[in-house]
Structure 1
Amino acid sequence: MKKLLLSGILAAAGLTSTMNAQIQEGNWIVGSSLVTSNFGLNTGAGYDFAIQPKAAYFIKDNVAVGGYVNLGFMKPGKGEATQFNYAVGALGRYYISPGEKGVDNLLNHGRWFFEGNVGVGGTSVENGISTTGLDFGVGPGYSYFITPNIGVEGLLKYNGVTGFGNEGLTSKLSFNVGFSIYLPTSKGRDIVNDVK
């Protein structure tokens, strides 16, 4: 019993220290947010689906920069307008350290972060509004590490597209749920070499 308790304590301590190592300079983060997925089961019911793959490199501890792609398609139902969303651009993340600015970690196995993005994108509704131009977004999130290298994430984000089209600005507030894989630089090199 004592060995089991000691093993549990060491594993928890190892997870906490490894979690901090994953957001250090030189490491990578790769993941995706599933903004929404809804498939109607009734006759004539609609569906919507959106995915946001992203990758970033930690330029210093707690600070990652990278890129993202957004693709979304929504068909509300029979006879209703189809909507298509798309974007590509740069993103940045800042992870808050434990105790920093009075913000403590939730459950000691995760990190709060802020994410911002800017790029080119658009929203198009069949026979309706359309906007193409600057795609931008900002919001807080939380990554809960289920293993030392995998985090389940929630992100509350304001997203907008401004520019050209029959609507100057389209915007929305979204709650994204997804996952991220945190790779040390050496593991990232191994994956790239395996692909070659």
Structure 2
Amino acid sequence: MKKLILTGILAVAGLTTTANAQIQKGNWMVGSSLISSNFGLNTGGGYNIQIQPKGAYFIEDNVAVGGYVDLGFAKVTNGSPTEFNYGVGGLGRYYLSPGEKGVDNLLNHGRWFFEANAGLGGRSVENGNSTTGFDFGVGPGYSYFITPNIGLEGLVKYRGQTGFGNEGLNSNITFNVGFSIFIPTAKAKQIANEAR
């Protein structure tokens, strides 16, 4: 009986530790926003679809820094010009701890986070409008861990591009759905060694 109780206590402790283990210092996060829709703040804004691969390394518990790439296209209606978006740069994420500053998680297997990015990017439209220059964004998100190492994510983000071209500033609010895979450093080294 004692062994059964001890096994139960260790299993519960293991689940609790696993829920936080993926966002600990030294781990990697690799993922992508697969679906992105936006509501343009500029005249002619509409909907778009993008793929946004990203990767980050946890420099501290709950704090990750890394990079991103944006590739996407948009078409407001049939007959409207096609728009191409692109960007590359650095990103940072901060995951809130349960109970931090009165913020509790909606679900036991998830975490709220804030994401910010800055880099180079642009927008090119068939009708000749374009912006190329500084690409930036910030917003809150939620990651629900369907397994200890895979999270489904939702992210609401203000994004902007400013610089050269016909439009000095292009900005919008995006709603993103995607996933992230969290890899412990030891597992990442094993994968790298197997790839050689």
TM-score (norm 1): 0.86
Contact 1:143 1:151 in 2 (8 A): yes
Distance 1:82 1:11, change over 3 A: farther
Distance 1:12 1:128 in 2: 59
Give the CA deviation at 1:157: 0.2
CA contact (8 A) 1:15 1:109 kept: no
**Partner residue of 1:36?**
36
Q: Structure 2: where are the runs of 5+ without partners?
A: 1-6, 38-46
Could you tell me whether the CA contact under 8 Å between 1:16 and 1:109 is conserved in 2?
Answer: no
Measure how far apart 1:155 and its partner are. Answer: 0.3
User: What's the offset of the Cα at 1:129?
Assistant: 2.2
Match of 1:40 in 2: none
Identity score, percent: 73
TM-score, normalised to structure 2's length?
Answer: 0.86
Residue in structure 1 matched with residue 105 of structure 2 by the alignment: 105
Q: In the aligned structure 1, how far is the partner of 2:108 from the partner of 2:132?
A: 42
Supply the distance in 1 between the matched residues of 2:9 and 2:48 (Cα, whole angstroms).
Answer: 44
Tell me the residue number matched to 1:3: none
RMSD of equivalent CA atoms:
2.2
Q: Work out whether residues 16 and 108 of structure 1, in 8 Å CA contact, stay in contact via their aligned partners in 2.
A: no
Q: In structure 2, do the counterparts of structure 1 residues 60 and 145 end up closer, same or farther at CA, with 3 Å as the change threshold?
A: same
Distance between the aligned counterparts of 1:11 and 1:128, measured in 2?
Answer: 60
Alignment of 1:132-147 (within 5 A): 132-147=132-147
Cα offset for 1:8? 9.7
- SS of the equivalent of 2:101 reads helix
Residue by residue over 1:171-190, the C-alpha shift from the partner in whole angstroms, topping out at 9 and shown as x without a partner, is 00011000000010001111
Task: After superposition, give the CA deviation of every residue in 1:87-108 in whole Å (9 maximum; x if it has no partner).
Answer: 0000000000011111111211
Q: Which moved more, 1:74-83 or 1:61-70?
A: 74-83
- After TM superposition, the structure 1 = structure 2 runs for residues 93-132 of structure 1, keeping only pairs within 5 Å, are 93-132=93-132
What stretches of structure 1 move > 3 A for 4+ residues in a row?
7-16, 75-78
